[in-house]
Amino acid sequence: MVWDKLPELVEKVRAGEVSAVSLVQQSIDKAKESEDYHALLEINNQALEQAKSIDERIAKGEKDGALLGIPFVAKDNFLTHHTKTTAASKLLDNFQAPYQATAIEKLEAEGAIMIGKANLDEFAHGSSTENSAYGPTKNPHDKSRVPGGSSGGSAAAVALGIVPFALGTDTGGSIRLPASFCGVVGYKPTYGLVSRYGVIAMASSTDVIGPITRNVSDSGYLLDILAGQDPLDSTTIEREKSYQSKAHNLKGLKVGIVSEHMGEGVDSSVKASIQSAIDKLKEAGAEIVEIDMELNELALAAYYVIAPAEISSNLARYDGVKYGVSAENAGDLLETYLKFRGEGFGEEPIRRILTGTFVLSSGYQDAYYKQAQKVRTQITEEYARAFEKVDVLIGPTAPTPPFKLGEKQDPLSMYLSDSMTIATNLAGLPAISLPVATDDLPVGLHLQGAQRTDKKLLDIAMSVEDLL
């Protein structure tokens, strides 16, 4: 069975046409059948029990819950009961979270059932899921290619039909890039719209949580459940009344194309797919405007100063004292730290910790870190000028289709995969990646909106999705 849209699926569960147990069983069967793709790190072995208790509630007439009986997976950087939480790091190989993320609590309160944890780049550091300490996930459309990252397992699980939706995190493109590579929808909310309590921190000034779904309306449906202030996350902002998406009139809609995102360095097949989407928008009556955003080009450089700086601070908590596998034969405390972290972290986290330590170190902080935060201000201002002229910015989510496993050995060339998504995070904007019809590998259309206009962006995306 292909998954229906979430509200329709819930209606069937409520009406007793399908049971929660049968949906969860279907998910687990599909997960086992798709083991080759390595989308999941662990199956929740209590998921069937949870489904059974939901079916019992339904039998008693307790039918509340916007996600009654719906299975899902969470990226393995969400703290959850019933499974380990590893962040795909050896360092947290046996970590059992004592409490759950707010996002998981909210979904469970609506009757959703987490059937497992999805693979990711270690601590969400990467763009291909190859940096997982437990081995890479493979692209559902071509096993020799990457699913994108860092939420590669979540996107692959949705594309493979294991679950109707998954949770991911997006610090520089980590929801949108894998959504693009796997041919599914990936939504990055405005910074602070969804509580991050109980999610393993990467770069706190850009980290957001969002859904990966089969269609836009499911993303809006889930955001409606997830959004809102949380006393446990002081960065959360006020929400809009509803995020349930409705079609938005495309006639007269002002659509900006970032010229730099359709120029050199973008694969010709990607460009052709995006151009045909733009042509369809034009036919539908949208007004297309080309916008030069020169500073947008500097976003990747600013990010690779700011993010490592925050990462080096956030990962300081992994000291081998509070959690993790202890360095047994270490001598003193300093040696415990050195050994535990040196042996526990994989290559990419170490690269980022060292880069971050360097840019924050005495004598370099002004030239690197402060300058990057000033360029960030200018990037945000450039976006504000653009949104005075247009309703939405459109372009490719990624400069290339999914690349081959092992193709990008040089760290910098991997970083460049995020060149189109990263500025969004620095400015805290909402954005979405939609699959564009192609004959070959998946391509994602990237839509970015002004801060705190998530509802409008979802509505526009829903109408664009109909066109594609």
Partner 1 sequence: MSKFSSQDVQRLGLLARTAISDDQAAELAPQLESILDYVAKLSSVDTTDTEITTQVTGLVDVWREDEVKSSKLSREELLQNAPSTQDGYIKVRRVL
Pick the closer one to partner 1 by CB: 213 or 421.
421
The values of phi and psi at residue 188, to 5°, are -110, 110
- Per this entry, what is the length of the chain? 468
Q: Which of 89, 174, 219, 417 is catalytic?
A: 174
| 90 touches partner 1 by CB under 8 A | no
* Residue 463 appears among annotated catalytic residues: no
Q: Which of 34, 75, 151, 417 is catalytic?
A: 75
Enumerate residues 6+ apart whose C-beta is below 8 A from 155. 147, 148, 166, 168, 175, 178, 179, 181, 182, 184, 186, 212
- Using DSSP, state whether 62 is helix, strand or coil: coil
Q: How far is the CB of 84 from partner 1 (least distance, A)?
A: 10
Q: How far is the CB of 301 from partner 1 (least distance, A)?
A: 4
Interface map 54-83 toward partner 1 (x if CB under 8 A): ------------------------------
Q: Which of 150, 151, 180, 417 is catalytic?
A: 150
- Quick one: 235 exposed, middle or buried, by C-beta within 10 A (0-12, 13-18, 19+)? middle
| 25 touches partner 1 by CB under 8 A | no
| 269 touches partner 1 by CB under 8 A | no
Q: How far is the CB of 35 from partner 1 (least distance, A)?
A: 28
| 173 touches partner 1 by CB under 8 A | no
The partner residues of 443 in beta bridges, in order of sequence, read 436
Q: Report the site for partner 1 in 273-312 (rule: CB under 8 A).
A: 295, 298, 300-302, 304-305, 312
| 96 touches partner 1 by CB under 8 A | yes
Write the secondary structure of 417-467 as one string of H (helix), E (strand) and C (coil): HHCCCHHHHHHCCCEEEEEECCCCCCEEEEEECCCCCHHHHHHHHHHHHHH
Query: Pairing between strand 71-75 and 431-436?
Result: unpaired
* Residue 75 appears among annotated catalytic residues: yes
Q: How far is the CB of 98 from partner 1 (least distance, A)?
A: 4
| 109 touches partner 1 by CB under 8 A | no
* Residue 128 appears among annotated catalytic residues: no
Cα–Cα distance, 410 to 421 (Å, whole number): 20
Interface map 338-377 toward partner 1 (x if CB under 8 A): xx-xxx-x----xx-xxxxxx--x-----xx-xxxxxxxx
Instruction: Residue 210: name the closest of 254, 249, 165 by CA.
Output: 165
Q: How far is the CB of 392 from partner 1 (least distance, A)?
A: 19
Catalytic residues: 75, 150, 174
